[in-house]
Amino acid sequence: MNKKTKNGLKIISNNRKAKFNYFFNEFFEAGLSLMGSEVKSLRNGKVNISDAYAYDIGGEIFLINSHISSYKESSYNDHNPIRNRKLLLNKREINKLIGKINREGYTLIPTKLYFKKGRAKVEIAVAKGKKQYDKRQTKKKRDWVREKTKFFRK
């Protein structure tokens, strides 16, 4: 799944499910605090962020429920695949995100995991959950666009 984009990003994982389940307001780029075996697994593309979210614990933001598989060649100091990983953000960004989570009812959803200049980064979206009727509307619109392109292609 490792793809290189125009701007030098090497995308490891996309969270395609998030676009269907949430409305996005803002995006933030955050670094990840990782162990060596986790970085090796990321380079192999053995990661899943589809069920992950970010939350504040003690004034710091952590990525929760992301799964980075164990690296087969690592020795005795292997990592826990589903441990909480600290996100590296500026203090101002952390305060802004904590305020949005607590006051306005938003959630923090990872949308992309990628390498930028050799460093693992995650794109965090400030999102609000969609209701069932919003999801139906999104599906209806997507089907209509698909039908429209079929019609004009012929």
DSSP string, 46-62: -EE-TT-EEEEETTEEE
Residue 12 sits at the vertex; the CA angle it makes with 80 and 116, to the nearest 5 degrees, is 105
pLDDT per position as a tens digit, 30-62:
999 888 888 888 888 889 898 899 989 988 999
Contacts by 75-82, CB closer than 8 A, 24 or more apart: 77/35, 77/37, 78/37, 79/35, 79/37, 79/38
pLDDT per position as a tens digit, 92-144:
999 999 988 888 878 999 999 999 988 999 999 999 887 888 888 888 988 99
Residue 34 belongs to what domain range?
3-153
* Residue 1 pLDDT > 60: no
How many structural domains are present in the chain? 1
pTM: 0.79
pLDDT per position as a tens digit, 69-78:
887 777 667 7
Nearest to 33 by CA among 62, 69, 66: 62
User: Domain with 149 in it: what CATH number?
Assistant: 2.40.280.10
What lies within 8 Å, CB to CB, of 123 at 6+ separation is 27, 28, 29, 30, 110, 111, 112, 113, 114
- pLDDT, position 2: 65
- pLDDT, position 30: 93
- pLDDT, position 31: 93
Beta pairing partners, 3: 11
